[in-house]
Amino acid sequence: MPPKLIDLCVALNGPHVGVMLPFFLHSLHHVCGTEIQNFRIHFVVRDDCPGPVRKFLDSISGPKIVIHRLYGKFFEVNQSNRKPHHNIVADCAGTCRWMIDNCGDCEWCIISHFDIAFREDILNRYRIMLKDNVGQLGSHSSGVVCYRREAVRQCSVGFE
């Protein structure tokens, strides 16, 4: 039986996207190359993603690469007593939730930072551990975390 298709979601925003995205993509293809065929890659382009990066993304479009434009969509806390840091956390949590809900429909979804370089094939490692009784593999501190969408929908914890 062929391996399940997995959605790999990457939000692109901030001033370092243009510098770090090539490292991310090169290491992704070099280290995880054989596994990439089993992934649909979703790039979520945020407001402050530089113009040259947007042009680059348009040039790499393909059947398993999806570009989502999320301009003007920010997720903010509706409580005035929150500190600015909490708005950043809420924005990050809202973006993760948006990716789970809108970036593909595969059973499993990996959310990845764009500012990492792969040193080992973590995608294949995660694939081996995919089980029906698992909801999450990895953590956001590692930069690559895998979720079973149904488990996220059933859980009330959220991304905050």
Share of residues in the chain with pLDDT > 70 (%): 84
Residue whose pair of structure tokens reads 């979720």 in the numeric block = 147
CA 145-99-33 angle, to 5 degrees, is: 55
Dist. CA 67–CA 64, nearest whole Å = 10
Residue whose pair of structure tokens reads 């501190």 in the numeric block = 141
Check pLDDT > 70 for residue 148.
Answer: yes
Instruction: Please count the helices (runs of H) and the strands (runs of E) in the chain.
Output: 5, 6
Residue whose pair of structure tokens reads 């990996």 in the numeric block = 110
Residue 144: CB atoms within 10 Å: 20
Helix (H) or strand (E) holding 65: strand 65-69
Check pLDDT > 80 for residue 30.
Answer: yes
- pLDDT tens-digit readout, 88-127: 777 788 889 999 999 999 999 999 999 999 999 988 888 8
Closest by CA position to 121, among listed 30, 17, 21: 30
